[in-house]
Structure 1
């Protein structure tokens, strides 16, 4: 397992509020992910998530996070070790996850996306139109706690997902997260940061869309829209991630992305204690936050 080894200087000391914000975002993502794992690929309306359970297609124990959180932790660990963005170091950590089970609760990776696996084998991200899964969006949140430029965000996305739809989704989400962490209103942050590409225009009115128009597939724009819709149409962290899971489809990733944003908005203490207690792999998370 590759942990805390990098040729760059140690990271600078953060301002007092940043570590707590990072903890909120990371645990907010991990808890949402773990809630959604048992329901992944299930059709909307055929189930109802009310708390942490096990089982599902992967047969994992309750509280187990998926590749979404593992790759987010690898991203976070790389930033902490290198004191900034080092794409090569991140790629190596992602490979340690895929091939060695690093950053997992059980020492093995599961739920690996095809585009991600292909990109890590070949050493560069997939850039085809059909390679716009949510595999970079789900792990991009830690960059909101850094001074990464838009181009650095794009480069981190492109480790696995290099098409402009994926890279701009990541830039947008990082910008929105930063605005929310700075105390700006969520809907204003969404409107202010929407990319010029017309394919993102639907995000401006995302709050007002009816639930049956929200798609929760593995397509990056569907995940982005569904996560934002959940945060905009609920009043606290618990309601948000539960609704994200209950949308069905790619339930773990929708809840992971929504959970990161909801925890940024409401704070770490908004995450239900019973869910945190049941979350597995907390020692892995704490190593990456140290």
Structure 2
């Protein structure tokens, strides 16, 4: 039996593996991928960013999303209230700091801390630029200057890039209520992406992961997420993309050519639909992860999103050991996942060391 812990760790680890599998070939054509990796395309990690198994900004930002949820939940327990969206904003400002932006420019005018705080930001391996999305980077820089937080009601731009959905899997933990998770997933993406397909994809994805972590089959999880999606304004583009993925899944096993009919994965609606299609048409995480990165598009992002899905479906124990052994930040990912389980459990810690590890905001 796959436990909740196995599913959560599996989701985060498989997302990172998919990210690393696609890191070298982002937006390379499938023909170029086959030149680099051989006629079967990507079958294992390819050296990228100076090593093997190196993750990109997709995993970096996913980890900061999870840290924000732990901090907000701990703050809520300690004081009775918390602004989880502000926790997410500040987590992304800490990520921006790891990308080379001095803390006094990244933190925003209302934050007076002399240094970025908490446990996650102490890991120096995170202090490396891994082709961060321009939209995420520029909008977080703008927050660092203005302190004005964007939202669905106050869109920051008209971008529907995949930078919101790629980091949203941990939002699944925030509540057992799909509507609450959808709304927070969408608002988390709206901090940097103002187009409905940029944030509704994130809301739907968070609900799907929430249901998978609870052991629901993928089609059931998708049905619940779709029911939430269609209640939101301007859902039509994302709904159509998911319908297209379901129709394509009826044609059987994935191929790069089939996958590319759904798009490139560089925008929210196609990153989600391509990942859903692959997860529906494969029966193990290895096959799914490789299929999700072998295409002429945003391979690390589709690998990351699909990995979050299949890791939650099959659990940590089903992941290829040789990939886990070489995965960058594996220990950090596992520790953060375990801390999340601890924080969101009924027997949560209340000592000062925990609140130093996960302070407010």
Shift of 1:139: 0.7
Q: Distance in 2 between matches of 1:36 and 1:69?
A: 12
* Length-normalised TM-score, structure 2: 0.69
Deviations along 1:55-98, one digit per CA (max 9) or x if unpaired, are 3xxx4311110000000000111212231762222222222222
Shift of 1:43: 0.6
Root-mean-square deviation (CA, aligned residues, Å) is 2.2
Shift of 1:287: 4.2
Q: Given the alignment, which residue of 266, 281, 303 partners 1:233?
A: 281
Match of 1:151 in 2: 183
The answer (yes or no) to whether the contact 2:202–2:268 under 8 Å persists in 1 is no
The answer (yes or no) to whether the contact 2:275–2:292 under 8 Å persists in 1 is yes
Shift of 1:106: 5.3
Q: Distance in 2 between matches of 1:272 and 1:284?
A: 18
Judged with a 3 Å threshold, the aligned counterparts in structure 2 of structure 1 residues 162 and 248 are, in CA distance, closer, same or farther, namely: same
Deviations along 1:96-117, one digit per CA (max 9) or x if unpaired, are 2222344673522221111101
Shift of 1:205: 4.4
Match of 1:138 in 2: 166
Question: Which 10-residue stretch deviates more, 36-45 or 102-111?
Answer: 102-111
Question: Which 10-residue stretch deviates more, 20-29 or 201-210?
Answer: 201-210
Q: Given the alignment, which residue of 20, 28, 40 partners 2:26?
A: 40
Counting only pairs closer than 5 Å after superposition, residues 67-106 of structure 1 correspond to structure 2 as 67-83=57-73, 86-101=84-99, 102=121, 105=125
Local SS of the residue matching 1:88: helix
Match of 2:236 in 1: 198
Counting only pairs closer than 5 Å after superposition, residues 108-127 of structure 1 correspond to structure 2 as 108-123=128-143, 124-125=149-150, 127=156
Local SS of the residue matching 1:71: helix
Q: Given the alignment, which residue of 110, 135, 157 partners 1:128?
A: 157
Shift of 1:270: 1.3
Match of 1:274 in 2: 322
Q: Distance in 1 between matches of 2:288 and 2:50?
A: 23
Q: Distance in 1 between matches of 2:293 and 2:182?
A: 30
Shift of 1:233: 1.2
Match of 1:242 in 2: 290
The answer (yes or no) to whether the contact 2:98–2:126 under 8 Å persists in 1 is no
Q: Distance in 2 between matches of 1:211 and 1:88?
A: 36
Matched, 1:264 2:312: yes
Judged with a 3 Å threshold, the aligned counterparts in structure 2 of structure 1 residues 208 and 180 are, in CA distance, closer, same or farther, namely: same
* Length-normalised TM-score, structure 1: 0.85
Q: May I ask how many residue pairs the two structures share in their alignment? A: 271
The answer (yes or no) to whether the contact 1:30–1:69 under 8 Å persists in 2 is yes
Structure 2 portions without partners, runs of 5+: 34-40, 77-82, 100-120, 144-148, 249-257, 340-361
Q: Distance in 2 between matches of 1:212 and 1:149?
A: 29
Q: Distance in 2 between matches of 1:109 and 1:211?
A: 29
Q: Given the alignment, which residue of 42, 50, 61 partners 1:49?
A: 42
Counting only pairs closer than 5 Å after superposition, residues 17-32 of structure 1 correspond to structure 2 as 17-32=3-18
Give 1 or 2 for the bigger CA radius of gyration: 2
